[in-house]
Structure 1
Amino acid sequence: MVVEAGPQLTKFVEGLPFPLDPFQQRACLALEDGHGVLVCAPTGAGKTVIGEFAVHLALMSGNKCFYTTPIKALSNQKYAELVARYGKGYVGLLTGDQSINSDAPIVIMTTEVLRNMLYAESPALRGLSHVVMDEVHYLADRFRGAVWEEVILHLSEDVRLVSLSATVSNAEEFGAWMETVRGNTTVVVDEKRPVPLWQHILVGHRLFDLFDVKTSDGPQGTIVDKDLARHVKERVAAERMGSWEPRGRGRGGPSRGGRPETRPIPRPEVIRLLDSEALLPAITFVFSRAGCDAALGQCLRSGLRLTTPEQASEISGIIDRHTADIPRGDLEVLGYWEWREALERGLAAHHAGMLPVFRHTVEELFVKGLVKAVFATETLALGINMPARTVVLERLVKYNGETHASLSAGEYTQLTGRAGRRGIDVEGHAVVLWQTGVEPTEVAGLASTRTFPLRSSFRPSYNMAINLVDRMGVPASRQLLERSFAQYQADASVVSLVRGIERNEKSHRDLLEKLGGEDSPFVEYTMLKARLKARERTLEQQGRTDRRNDAVESLVTLRRGDVISIPSGRRSGLAVVLEIDTDSADPRPLVLTEDKWAGRVSSADFPTPVSSLGHMRLPRHVDHRTARTRRDLASALRGTGIVAPGRGRRHQSTAADDRELGALRRAVRSHPCHSWPDRDHLARLADKYSRLERDTESMRQKVASTTNSLARTFDRILSLLSERGYLTDEPDVEVTERGSKLGRIYSESDLLVAECLAAGVWKGLGPAELAAVVSSVVYESRQDGESAPPHGPTGAIRHALARTVHLWSELRSDEIRHKLPPTREPDHGFVIAVYKWARKESLENVLMAAGQQGRALSGGDFVRWCRQVIDLLDQIRSASPDDEVTGAATKAISAIRRGVVAVDAA
C-alpha cells in the first residue's frame, strides 16, 4: 500500500540526493503524524535520515531539536554534517568539554549532557519538541546504559523521541515499553542490509565462499559450501599425517610449498591477496592494541605499499593539517614518523591507545579512500562512520579482561556490519581467517544467527537517587524506577519463569513416579552420578584453563636466544626464539625451527608449559625472511647439541589424583542399582529428571533475584544516604544541602567524591596536587592487581590520598552492610603523571611516569584520562562547599588542558 507523504516530508525529501527507502518513509510518516519512533536497522542502512527529518520538523514548527550520541566523536561528526546543511547559526554542540552556540535551535550533545540538563531543569529545555537518541542500544552498556533510560523516563511527555538502534531481536518488546512510558511509539524494523554481505573463509591462500551459493538466492545462505568443508577436513587430516596435497583450486591458488598451512598466512600476504581480488579497502579486526600495532609493523617491514605518489602527497597534506598544533617534541614521543609513513603507504592502526587526533586523521583518510587497510580493535565497530568493502576477522575468540571467550553472534554481526559502503560497493565481504580449531559450521552459525536481544543495564546510583528524590519525592521516584525497561523486562521474565517452573514441577512429579518415588534407591543413585558428572566437568574445565594459563605464562617468560622444544604438530622439534612477546593475554613469540621454518607460535602449540632447554647467541639483527639466514641459524641450532624431549607429552590430568572424584567413582560402582538389569532405561529417565531439577532451581533463583530488585536497591541507597546526612530521615525524606552537592557529581565514585569534599580532605592542595589526588577516583589500571599504597611527589598529596583511601574503606564497609555494590577502590596509577603534566613537564616524562611494568602509557590513554580528570574537576568546582577547592579546581583544569590534551579537546 502506498501512503502519501505529508507536506513536511515532501519538502524534506526535495532536499535529498536520494529517494527514501520504505522503512525510512514509514518512520518519517509516523513522526509527521506526531508519534515517537523506534527504528532498528543494520549499520549503514540510513537510520540517521530519520533523525535529520526530526530536526527539520522542529525547525519548521519554530521549536528545538536535541540530537544525542553516545560518544563525543559521533557528536563532532554529526555537528559537522548539520552545520554543512543548516549553517553555523542554527547548530550548537555540547559535549562536556565543548560548548558552541548552546542556544541554537539544533544542539548536538552526548546523552550524559542531556541527562544532566534534565536533572538541573535547565531553561534550555523550553521549546524542545524533538530528541533524537542515536545508538539507543547503548542502554545495554553495563557502565553507561542507565543514562539512556534516565533520559527516556525524564523527558517531558510532549517531546517526540526518535530512537535509532542497531538491529535487535526484541525490538517489539523495547517498543512496547516505550509505548508505556512515552505514549504513541511506532516501531520500524528493517533487517535488510542496504549492501549485500558475502561471507568467506580464507584457508591458506584460498578464499572460499562460506555458504553454498548454488543452494541460496543470495549471499546469506544456510548450507556450508561443500568445497570448503572438504578442503578443511583434508587439511586437518593432512596436519595429523604431516603431509598435504591440495585438491582443486580456490581463488588464491594452492598452498605454498606443498605443506599444510594450519595458521593464517602472514598479514601482508592477506592484504595483498585482498588487493588482487579487488576487496580493498579492508578493516582487519585484531582484538588487542598491541596486536594492531604489531600487524601494522609487519606490513611496514614487508614493504607493502597501497598508494600512488599522488595519493601519498594528498595524505601528507591532511596529516599536516591535523597535527599542525601539536608541539614537534610531543610528536616524536608519540611515534609520529612511523605512523605517518604507514598512512602515506595506505596502512593504519585504529584503537583507543592512539592519540585521538591520530585516530581522527585515520578516519578521515579511510573515508576518503586514501587509506586502504586498517587494523582495528572492536571499538571501531561502535558507531564511528568508517565502512569498508571488506572486514577481516583474524580470530573468533577475544580476551574479555578475564578469560578468552568466543565471539557472540551479536558481536560477529556488529563487526562484519562495517563491510559494504552504501552508494560505493554493490556488495560487502566478511572474511574469517581459518586456522586449526575453526569449524566452518561454527562460522556459519555466527553469520546466520539473528537473535540479539537488548537487555537493560539500568540500576539506581547515589547521584540518581538524590536527583530523583529532589525532583519528585520518594514515592514518585519508586514509581519511576518501576517504569524502567529493566523492571519491565524483569516483570515479563518473571511471568514466563513462573510458568516454566509450574510446567517443570509437573513433569518432575511424573518422572519421579516412574523412578519409584522419592525414596527409590535409583533416585539416590541418580544424584550420585550427577555429582560425579559435575565433578568431572569441573576438573576438565579447570584442567583446560590451567594448561592454557601455564602455557601463556611460560611463553611470556621466554627471552631472545632461548632454545625451546615444540612438542607436536608439523613444526615439532627444536626452535630458537628470535623475538619475544610479553602480551599477557595472547603471547606469540617469533621462532625459527631446526627445519628452517620461521613464524609465530602461541599457547595452542604447547599442551604443557614451555621452558628454555638452553641458549644461543644471536646476531643483533636477524632477518628471518631470507632463506640464507634461516638456513644458517637452523644449522647453528642443530649444532648446539641440545636434544628435544620426547614428543606428544601431555599435561597430567587434574582428575588423576582428585580424591573427591575417586570416592564418587567408587560409590557409583558399589551402589546396588549399578547392576540392575533395567539400569540403562531408568538412567535415561533419571538424566531427564536431573536436568529438570537443575533448570527449575535456576528459574527459582532468577525469580527471587528479579522481583522488586530495583526498588530494594533504591531503598538501601536511601538508607545509606540518610545515615550519612545526604537525606533527611523518614517520614518526610528530603535532600539536604550536603545532598544537593552530591546531585552535581556524576562520577562512578560519586559518593566518595562527595564525602571527600564534605570532609575537607582535598582542601589546601595546589592545582597540580588536587588534579593528582582527584585522578585516583577516576583512573583504572589496565592490569589487575592490588592497588599500590598511597604515593605521590609531595607530602600533601600522600596525606590526601591516604585520607581518601580511609574514607573509601569506611564507605565500603557501609555498602557491604547495606548489601550495595561497593564503590571501586581509588587507583594511584595516574597520580604522578597528571601532577607532572599540570606542572608543565614534557610529554615524554609524563608518559613514562604513567607507565606500568616498564611500558609507557599510550598517548590516547593519557589524553582520555586527562579528559576524565578535567570532567570531574569541573563537577568539583560547582559542587565543592569550599572556595579554596573551587579555585584550585579551576586552575587545575587550565593547567591540564594544554598541548595534546588541548588539541584533542578542540
Structure 2
Amino acid sequence: MTKPPDTPQLDDFAAGLPFSLDPFQIRACQALENGHGVLVCAPTGAGKTVVGEFAVHLALAAGRKCFYTTPIKALSNQKHNDLVQRYGAERIGLLTGDQNLNGDAPIVVMTTEVLRNMLYANSDALQGLSHVVMDEVHFLADRMRGAVWEEVILHLSEDVRLVSLSATVSNAEEFGGWIQTVRGDTTVVVDEHRPVPLWQHMMVGKRLFDLFEGAEVTGDRSLVDPELIRHISHRREADRLSDWQPRGRQGRGRDGHRHSGGGRPTIYRPPSRPDVIGVLDHEGLLPAITFVFSRAGCDAAVKQCLRSSLRLTDDAERARIAEVIDRRCAELDDADLVVLGYYEWREGLLRGIAAHHAGLLPVFRHTVEELFTAGLVKAVFATETLALGINMPARTVVLERLVKFNGEQHAPLTPGEYTQLTGRAGRRGIDVEGHAVVLWHPDVEPADVAGLASTRTFPLRSSFAPSYNMTINLTNHMGPKQAHRLLERSFAQYQADRSVVGLVRGVTRGEKMMDEIAARFGGRDAPILAYARLRATIADRERAQSRASRVQRRQAANDALAALRRGDIITIGQGRRGGLAVVLEPAGDRDDPRPLVLTEDRWAGRISSTDFSGSSLRVGSMTLPKRVEHRQPRVRRDVASALRSAAAALPVPAGRPKRGQPGQDREHDVDPELAGLREQLKAHPAHHLADRDERVREAERFLRIERDNADIQKKVNAATNSLARTFDRIVLLLIGRGYIERTSNGDLKVTDDGRLLSRIYSESDLLVAECLRSGTWDGLDPADLAGVVSAVLFESRGDTPGASAVVEGATPGMRRALAQTRRSWSEIRAEEQQHRLPASREPDSGFVAAVHRWATTGDLSASLAASDASGSGSPLSAGDFVRWCRQVLDLLDQVRNAAPTPASRTSAKRAIEAIRRGVVAVDAG
C-alpha cells in the first residue's frame, strides 16, 4: 500500500472545515501543496471552490499573496464576503472597478479584467504573488470577454501557481493539455460525480412522472418510464378523439380556444404557473427555479402567481423577508419606488415568489439571491443567466420549454445547456437529492428529453482573438516576434492546430487516391489527364461566357426599358404576357426600370427586364388619351383595340416572337480563346480513343479529388498562424493611423497616441482612442460627454433602430460630437475592410438621451422615458438602465485616466459624479 503524500497544510486546512473533503478535492489540493498548478472540472455545486480556498490558505501560510478572480462583479462580491467571514476583513481585499477595498491585502478578490490590466501595467501589486485562482474559467468561451482569461493565463509569471476552476466540459483533457503546454506542470482533475443525485421528471398536466425507469440517469442504456409513455399516448388519443366531435357541438370558450361539447379544449394548454408551483409544493420539491427564456416571461410568471391565491410563506418567514427588504432597499428614493415596481416586487417576495434576470435592478436581484439562499423565497422564475456562476442552488429546477432564442433564432437546447441549467438542482448539505422537471407539451417527446438528460457534451471553445488594445500592449511590452510566440501559445491556436491535424490527414488520403488513379493511366502526366483538364477549362469558359452574356442581355434590356416613353409600342418576348404592348407610364428607376404597360390581351401592369429578351424592344408609337384609367375593363379594351390598329399600320410587321426563337440581337459565340480551346480538344490524341468517355470519367474523378485537396489546403493555411496574421494586419492599420511607428532600424515603437489606446479596455477601444486624440469629445460638459460615451458601448436589444436614431433634446455640442464619432467609425470601418479585419461595432445612440437626462436631473422616471424617445423601441427596464449606466461609468473612468487634455479629464470626473447617484449608486455590487 502506497503511503499518502505528506501534506501538512492540507491537513491543517481540512481540520477547519465543517465537512469532509471529497476524493477529487483531496487530489487537487494535494497537487497544489506539492507545487503543481491544477485544473478542476466538476459539476455545479460539487465544491470546486474549496480548492481555490486552499490556494488562499497556502498563500497566507507562506506569507505570500493570492488573487482570486471571477468573471463578474456579483461573484467577486460573494466570494469576498465568504473569505472575510473565514479570514477577517483586514486580510481580504476587493477590486472590481466599482469598488477598491483594501487592495494591498495579501488576498485580493477581483474581476479577471482587473488582473489583466495589472499585468499589462506591470503593477507593483504583482510582487509576492504565489497563487491565482481563476473561478469559472470556462468563461474563456464567452464571445465578448473570453480573451481576458487567455491573456491572464499567458502573461502570468511562470512561478505563479494557477488554480483553474471550470464547470464540467467534455474536452477537459484538451484544455488541460493546453494549460500544461503554456504553464508547465499542471494536474488535471475531472470529476463528473454529482454530490447530490439528480432525478429527472416530466410533468404532464398536473401529474408528475419519473422520466427514466429507475429515475436517475445511468447512461445511454437508461429507458424512458413506460408509465409516462402510456399516459402521454392516452392523452394524445383523447385529444385526437375530441377533435372529431360534430361541428355543431363545438364553440369557443372564454379562453378563446375551441371546445368540444364536453368542454375539452382541442388545443393543448399547459398547466398554469401557480398550478405547477402548487404541485411541486405538494410533492415537497420546493424551493424551485423555473427557467423562462425571456425577461418579460419571468415578470409575467410572477404576476400570474400574484393574481392567484398562491402563498408559500408563513407569518414568521414574511417578517424575516420584510426585514431583509427594508435593510437592502433603505437607500432607495421614495419617489422612485413606484417607477421601480417596488410594491409588486415586495408583495411577491412576501409570498415567497420572485423573478431573477439581468433586467432587474441590482439591489432587487441581490435581495432575491439573499432571500432564496436563506430558504425564504421558494419559487424563482429566472433566465438562463442565473445558471452562470451565481450561487443559488434549489431543490428543483423546472424547464418550461426546451427551445430558447440564441440571439438569431429559436433553437433547441443543447445537452450542455440542459446540463448547465439542471445542475442548479440539489443543495449540497441540505438536499438528499435534486430534481429536474420538464413540462410536457404535445411537441415534446420523452425520448428527446431523455437524450438531453443522458448526454454529457459541453466542449470548451476558445474565443481568443487580438484586439487593438491587446495588439498595442503586446507590441509595447514584448515586440512583434515575442507577441507572435505568445499568440501561437493561445488556446485558440492550440485548438486550430489540432483541427489542422485532421485536415492534413484528409489531404494525405486524397493524395494517395490520386496516385492510385494516376497509376492506372501511367502517371500524373498521362495524356488523358491533360485531355480532361482541357475539357474542364472549356466547360468553365463556357459557363463564364454564359453568365457574362446573361448580364449583358439584362443590362441591354434595362437600358431599353429605361429609354421607353409614353405611347411607345413594344414587343414583350417572354412569358404569359408575350406579344404587343403600349407604354402607359415610363420607368422611374434607371437601375431597376419597370414601366407600366397594357398588352394586346388587355393585361395592364409593370414589366421588367425578365419579361423580354434582346435590346430591339420598341417597334413604333401611338397616341394615347391624356388619362388612361387602366384599372377599368372598358378603358383597357379600347386601348388594346387601338394598339392592334396602330401596330397593323406600322411599316414593319410587329408581333409575338415564335416560341423558342432566340432574341434577334443575341450574340453568337465569337470568343476566339474558346474557339481555340475547342480546336485543341479535337486535335488532342486522347480525343479519338475508343474508350475515351470511360477514361475521362476516371480522370475527372482525379480532378475532383485534386480540387477538394486544394480547398482543404486553403483551410489548413487559414488555420495555421491565423492569430499572428490578424495581429500583423492590426499592426499595419495602427501604423497607418500613427499609433505605432517604425524606427530607423525597422523595429516597432508605440507612440504617445498608442499609449493612450493601451489604457482603453473597451470593445470599441480604437474608436474611443480616436475620439480622444482628435479632440472630438473636447469641450463637452459632463452630461454631454456621458451621452456621447454611451453611444460607443450601448447595444439596442432586438431589432430596434437605436444605432442611427435622432437623439431628442440633444445639445449642439452633443450632436456635433455624435456626428464626428460616427464619421470616425466609418473611416475605421473602411480601413478594417482594406486590411481584412473584423468590423468594429457601429455606434448606437439608443442610450444617449437617457443617460444625459439622468446626469442632468437624476430623475429616474424621466430618464427611463428618454430611453424610449432615443430610439430603443421601448423604455429600458430599471435594471437595464442601471447596468448601462455602470458600463458608461467604467468607460468614463478610463477616459478620465487616458484623455490627453485636463479639461476632458475633469469633465469625465464630473460626469462620473453626476451618474453615480440614486438607483445607480445603491447596491453597486
Letter of the 2:474 counterpart: L
Measure, in 1, the Cα distance between the counterparts of 2:849 and 2:390: 33
Matched, 1:231 2:231: yes
Matched, 1:901 2:920: yes
The match for 1:70 is 71
The alpha carbon displacement at 1:902 in A equals: 0.8
Matched, 1:199 2:214: no
Matched, 1:335 2:341: yes
- Closer/same/farther in 2, CA of residues 204 and 504 from structure 1, 3 Å limit: farther
| 1:42-441 paired onto structure 2 within 5 Å | 42-213=43-214, 222-242=222-242, 262-441=268-447
Letter of the 1:375 counterpart: F
Measure, in 2, the Cα distance between the counterparts of 1:819 and 1:697: 22
Measure, in 1, the Cα distance between the counterparts of 2:97 and 2:703: 55
Letter of the 2:779 counterpart: G
The alpha carbon displacement at 1:498 in A equals: 1.8
Residue 431 of structure 1 aligns to a residue in which SS? Answer: strand
Deviations along 1:66-106, whole A, 9 cap, x unmatched? 00000000000000000000111000000011100000000
The equivalent position to 1:716 in structure 2, one of 729, 737, 740, is 729
Root mean square deviation of aligned Cα: 2.8
The alpha carbon displacement at 1:257 in A equals: 7.2
Measure, in 2, the Cα distance between the counterparts of 1:191 and 1:698: 40
Measure, in 2, the Cα distance between the counterparts of 1:429 and 1:219: 17
- Closer/same/farther in 2, CA of residues 335 and 690 from structure 1, 3 Å limit: farther
Measure, in 2, the Cα distance between the counterparts of 1:900 and 1:800: 28
The equivalent position to 2:505 in structure 1, one of 474, 494, 499, is 499
The equivalent position to 1:464 in structure 2, one of 460, 464, 470, is 470
Measure, in 2, the Cα distance between the counterparts of 1:55 and 1:422: 22
- Closer/same/farther in 2, CA of residues 266 and 513 from structure 1, 3 Å limit: farther
Larger deviation: 740-749 or 700-709? 700-709
The match for 1:813 is 830
The alpha carbon displacement at 1:502 in A equals: 3.7
The alpha carbon displacement at 1:201 in A equals: 1.1
Measure, in 1, the Cα distance between the counterparts of 2:80 and 2:378: 26
Measure, in 1, the Cα distance between the counterparts of 2:863 and 2:881: 9
Measure, in 2, the Cα distance between the counterparts of 1:221 and 1:819: 50
The alpha carbon displacement at 1:689 in A equals: 13
- Contact 1:327/1:899 (CA < 8 Å) preserved in 2? yes
The alpha carbon displacement at 1:436 in A equals: 1.7
- Closer/same/farther in 2, CA of residues 244 and 295 from structure 1, 3 Å limit: farther
The alpha carbon displacement at 1:444 in A equals: 1.1
Larger deviation: 55-64 or 231-240? 231-240
The alpha carbon displacement at 1:151 in A equals: 0.1
The match for 1:882 is 901
| 1:635-714 paired onto structure 2 within 5 Å | 702-714=715-727
Larger deviation: 885-894 or 839-848? 839-848
Letter of the 1:189 counterpart: V
Larger deviation: 88-97 or 855-864? 855-864
Residue 728 of structure 1 aligns to a residue in which SS? Answer: strand
Deviations along 1:779-817, whole A, 9 cap, x unmatched? 110032542255352111001100110111011000110
Matched, 1:855 2:856: no
Measure, in 2, the Cα distance between the counterparts of 1:422 and 1:511: 64
The alpha carbon displacement at 1:318 in A equals: 0.5
Residue 119 of structure 1 aligns to a residue in which SS? Answer: helix
Deviations along 1:733-781, whole A, 9 cap, x unmatched? 0111110010000010000000001100000001111111111001110
| 1:518-597 paired onto structure 2 within 5 Å | none
- Contact 2:219/2:454 (CA < 8 Å) preserved in 1? no
Measure, in 2, the Cα distance between the counterparts of 1:116 and 1:241: 67
Larger deviation: 39-48 or 503-512? 503-512
Deviations along 1:251-300, whole A, 9 cap, x unmatched? xxxxx977677342111100001111111100000000000011111111
The alpha carbon displacement at 1:818 in A equals: 0.5
The match for 1:552 is none
The equivalent position to 2:764 in structure 1, one of 717, 736, 749, is 749
Measure, in 2, the Cα distance between the counterparts of 1:63 and 1:779: 41
Measure, in 2, the Cα distance between the counterparts of 1:30 and 1:458: 28
Letter of the 1:813 counterpart: A
Q: Which runs of 5+ in 2 are unaligned?
A: 246-261, 521-527, 537-697
Deviations along 1:116-146, whole A, 9 cap, x unmatched? 0000000000000000000000000011000
The alpha carbon displacement at 1:451 in A equals: 1.9
Matched, 1:774 2:775: no
The match for 2:589 is none
The alpha carbon displacement at 1:242 in A equals: 2.5
Residue 39 of structure 1 aligns to a residue in which SS? Answer: strand
- Closer/same/farther in 2, CA of residues 219 and 474 from structure 1, 3 Å limit: closer
The alpha carbon displacement at 1:224 in A equals: 1.5
Measure, in 1, the Cα distance between the counterparts of 2:274 and 2:704: 50
- Closer/same/farther in 2, CA of residues 59 and 461 from structure 1, 3 Å limit: same
Measure, in 1, the Cα distance between the counterparts of 2:516 and 2:300: 60
Using the aligned pairs only, state the percent identity: 66
- Contact 1:67/1:108 (CA < 8 Å) preserved in 2? yes
Letter of the 2:312 counterpart: L
- Closer/same/farther in 2, CA of residues 217 and 833 from structure 1, 3 Å limit: closer
Measure, in 1, the Cα distance between the counterparts of 2:396 and 2:518: 56
The match for 2:545 is none
Q: Which has the larger radius of gyration?
A: 2
- Contact 2:401/2:438 (CA < 8 Å) preserved in 1? yes
Deviations along 1:601-622, whole A, 9 cap, x unmatched? xxxxxxxxxxxxxxxxxxxxxx
The alpha carbon displacement at 1:508 in A equals: 9.3
Measure, in 2, the Cα distance between the counterparts of 1:512 and 1:284: 63
Residue 887 of structure 1 aligns to a residue in which SS? Answer: helix
Residue 180 of structure 2 aligns to a residue in which SS? Answer: helix
The equivalent position to 2:804 in structure 1, one of 754, 778, 788, is 788
The alpha carbon displacement at 1:374 in A equals: 0.4
The alpha carbon displacement at 1:241 in A equals: 3.2
Measure, in 1, the Cα distance between the counterparts of 2:709 and 2:314: 65
Measure, in 2, the Cα distance between the counterparts of 1:221 and 1:266: 34
Aligned residues: 730
- Closer/same/farther in 2, CA of residues 813 and 209 from structure 1, 3 Å limit: same
| 1:466-481 paired onto structure 2 within 5 Å | 466-481=472-487
Larger deviation: 824-833 or 221-230? 221-230
The equivalent position to 2:886 in structure 1, one of 867, 880, 886, is 867
Deviations along 1:864-893, whole A, 9 cap, x unmatched? 111111110110111111111000001100
- Contact 1:720/1:818 (CA < 8 Å) preserved in 2? yes
Matched, 1:7 2:8: yes
- Contact 1:877/1:886 (CA < 8 Å) preserved in 2? yes
The equivalent position to 1:763 in structure 2, one of 748, 759, 778, is 778
The match for 2:626 is none
Measure, in 2, the Cα distance between the counterparts of 1:875 and 1:171: 36
The match for 2:667 is none
The alpha carbon displacement at 1:232 in A equals: 2.5
- Closer/same/farther in 2, CA of residues 837 and 131 from structure 1, 3 Å limit: same
Deviations along 1:457-515, whole A, 9 cap, x unmatched? 0000000001011111110011000000100111111012221344467679999999x
Letter of the 2:172 counterpart: A
- Closer/same/farther in 2, CA of residues 689 and 800 from structure 1, 3 Å limit: same
- Closer/same/farther in 2, CA of residues 309 and 260 from structure 1, 3 Å limit: farther
Measure, in 2, the Cα distance between the counterparts of 1:192 and 1:217: 12
- Closer/same/farther in 2, CA of residues 716 and 217 from structure 1, 3 Å limit: closer
Residue 748 of structure 2 aligns to a residue in which SS? Answer: coil
Residue 381 of structure 2 aligns to a residue in which SS? Answer: strand
Q: Which runs of 5+ in 1 are unaligned?
A: 246-255, 525-684
Larger deviation: 430-439 or 158-167? 430-439
Deviations along 1:139-163, whole A, 9 cap, x unmatched? 0001100000000000000000000
Larger deviation: 221-230 or 695-704? 695-704
Deviations along 1:3-36, whole A, 9 cap, x unmatched? 2451111111111011110000000000000000
- Closer/same/farther in 2, CA of residues 291 and 697 from structure 1, 3 Å limit: farther
Residue 452 of structure 1 aligns to a residue in which SS? Answer: coil
Measure, in 2, the Cα distance between the counterparts of 1:90 and 1:772: 40
| TM-score normalised by the chain length of structure 2 | 0.76
- Contact 2:797/2:872 (CA < 8 Å) preserved in 1? no
Measure, in 2, the Cα distance between the counterparts of 1:318 and 1:507: 73
- Contact 1:198/1:219 (CA < 8 Å) preserved in 2? no
